[in-house]
Chains A and B, each alone.
Chain A
Amino acid sequence: EAGVVQSPRYKIIEKKQPVAFWCNPISGHNTLYWYRQNLGQGPELLIRYENEEAVDDSQLPKDRFSAERLKGVDSTLKIQPAELGDSAVYLCASISGRGTGGADTQYFGPGTRLTVL
């Protein structure tokens, strides 16, 4: 079974440029998460989708970040414009369940390592 797929794996951009990350979750997984992980820190949730609905985007900096999961399958996370502080690893994860619990079936993609110069 294919795991969570993310692309690109690495991205280097200059500040003020836009950038987009793509995630394809495990087939059949309804719940999709985008996390940001800074060096030496744990992943921090940006947004959680249940199918195509964003059920928790409270920690998404909406002035510059946006996300979509139009058909309830793959998802795109965008930053426009990027700032120096956005340099981090952006992780996508998916679980098959819904709502409560589920971290025991959560699978992460390899992440996109973003460097903003």
Chain B
Amino acid sequence: RKEVEQDPGPFNVPEGATVAFNCTYSNSASQSFFWYRQDCRKEPKLLMSVYSSGNEDGRFTAQLNRASQYISLLIRDSKLSDSATYLCVVDSWGKLQFGAGTQVVVTP
């Protein structure tokens, strides 16, 4: 079993709609959690950190559920430019583990 698991998708989302997806992790001692975005043939870039209380950054909302060991990302009012692969990252004492990513395709 992989330590960080994601639904690979693709999630096909009409422009303007909302999409949400999760990431599960196996190490209960993990400390920090992040969502990264990766465009095709580009390097990953930090989208947002995930805090226990949940946090928003514009149209993006991230949640952490430590009891069930998952984090989620919700995108509201999807834009065409949101099409990308979203990587879940779990940080355990400086060791960063990436999920395989969830592909989101926003269609006109």
Contact = CB atoms under 8 A, between A and B. Distances in A.
A91 B42 CA distance: 10
Interface in B66-96: 87, 89, 91, 93-96
A35 B69 CA distance: 25
Contacts of A85: none
B46 A106 contact: yes
Nearest to A104: B49
Nearest to B90: A103
Contact of A111 (B43, B49, B100): B43
Given A40-B8, A40-B100, A41-B100, A102 B94 contact: yes
B59 interface: no
A101 B43 contact: no
B18 interface: no
B32 interface: yes
B35 to A, nearest CB: 10
A18 interface: no
A72 interface: no
A13 to B, nearest CB: 20
Contact of A103 (B34, B43, B99, B101): B34
Contact of B44 (A40, A45, A98, A108): A108
A67 B67 CA distance: 39
A18 B26 CA distance: 37
A108 B46 CA distance: 9
A103 B95 CA distance: 9
B98 A43 contact: yes
Contacts of B87: 42-43
Given A108-B43, A108-B45, A103 B93 contact: no
A53 interface: no
Given A110-B42, A110-B43, A111-B43, A100 B100 contact: no
A103 B100 contact: no
Interface centre among B8, B42, B98, by most chain A C-beta atoms within 10 angstroms, is B98
Interface of A: 31, 33, 35, 40-45, 48, 55-56, 91, 98-104, 106, 108-111
